């Protein structure tokens, strides 16, 4: 635990972030840079990554790196981790922030979309966590942060596969936490409600899904990033933001039948309004 406390300051710490080309991942990268970290960003869009790395370098006054990465390719993940260790050094903090979604009913979803969500949201995070956890256990400290979602704890219509990947990631993180706890490695899961990013616009181009959520339910990615970094280096195991998300997930665990009925009624009501 004593060595883990060193992560309460990110100065000169090596931080690897997936999904860094936008949204939550980008906000996490920029906040890490403000705190003096050596930032590494990974995603598919090479040009966007280079621009982000430059911004991080200016903010931190330290080197920053970008590695294009297709998270659906396990061999590519291994190759990037090898490059990081050779060109940058050992990883102190891993943030699995990459995510993709398609918000439609299961019966309308293609196998390709299901596979992509599973590969990016779940399997890639598992592969990265496995490899980086080994290195962190050897060095005696580190932190792995996995970005889940509120829908991984309570059912949200039209998000069955996406939510299943997030639920699995939360459970994976809970078990990984127990396995690495004696080695000074923190595993932190983040389960936000709706976030003010382009995710919903991409996952639901018609915005039928987003219409179910009033503006007050959303959190900014910048605020979320600050809460994440403020929790690193401590024994904290989970972040639920905004505050109402913890209450909703608790209520659903205690009253699942009532929760199913209420959620369905809310979504049915909003859908009927959209059709008027």
For residue range 184-213, list pLDDT tens digits in order: 999 999 999 888 777 776 766 666 666 666
pLDDT tens-place string over residues 239-261: 998 888 888 889 989 999 998 99
In the prediction, which pLDDT does 9 show?
A: 96
Q: What CATH number is attached to the domain comprising 167?
A: 3.40.50.720
Task: Indicate the number of domains in the chain.
Answer: 1
pLDDT at 270 over 80: no
The pLDDT value recorded for residue 219 is 87
Q: Do 163 and 151 touch, CB atoms closer than 8 A?
A: yes
- Range name among 123-127, 206-210, 224-228, 244-248 with the lowest pLDDT average: 206-210
Res 4: pLDDT: 85
Burial label for 6, CB within 10 Å (0-12, 13-18, 19+), is middle
What is the model's pTM?
Answer: 0.92
Residue 34's CB is within 10 A of a number of other CB atoms, namely 15
| Cβ pair 23, 196 in contact under 8 A | no
162 a catalytic residue: yes
Task: Tell me which residue range forms the domain holding 98.
Answer: 4-275
Q: Pick the catalytic residue from 162, 244, 252, 269.
A: 162
């Amino acid at each position: 635990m004593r060595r883990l406390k060193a992560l309460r300051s990110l100065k000169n710490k090596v931080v690897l972030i997936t999904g860094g080309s936008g949204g939550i991942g980008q906000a996490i990268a920029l906040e890490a840079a403000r705190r003096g970290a050596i930032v590494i960003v990974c995603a598919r869009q090479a040009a966007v990554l280079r621009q982000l790395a430059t911004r991080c370098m200016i903010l931190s006054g330290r080197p920053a790196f970008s590695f294009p990465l297709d998270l659906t390719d396990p061999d590519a993940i291994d190759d990037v981790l090898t490059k990081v260790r050779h060109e940058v050094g050992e990883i102190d903090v891993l943030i699995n922030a990459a995510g993709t979604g398609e918000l439609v009913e299961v019966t309308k979803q293609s196998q390709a979309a299901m596979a992509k969500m599973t590969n990016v949201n779940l399997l890639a995070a598992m592969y990265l966590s496995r490899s980086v956890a080994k290195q962190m256990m050897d060095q005696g400290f580190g932190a792995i942060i996995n970005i889940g979602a509120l829908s991984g704890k309570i059912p949200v219509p039209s998000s069955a596969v996406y939510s299943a990947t997030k639920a699995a990631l939360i459970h994976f993180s809970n078990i990984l936490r127990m396995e690495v706890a004696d080695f000074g490695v923190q595993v932190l899961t983040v389960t936000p409600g709706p976030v003010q990013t382009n995710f919903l616009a991409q996952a639901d181009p018609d915005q039928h899904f987003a219409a179910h959520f009033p503006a007050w339910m959303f959190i900014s990615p910048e605020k979320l990033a600050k809460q994440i970094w403020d929790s690193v280096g401590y024994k904290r195991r989970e972040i639920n933001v905004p505050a109402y998300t913890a209450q909703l997930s608790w209520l659903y665990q205690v009253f699942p039948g009532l929760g199913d009925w209420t959620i369905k009624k809310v979504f049915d009501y909003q859908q009927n309004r959209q059709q008027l």
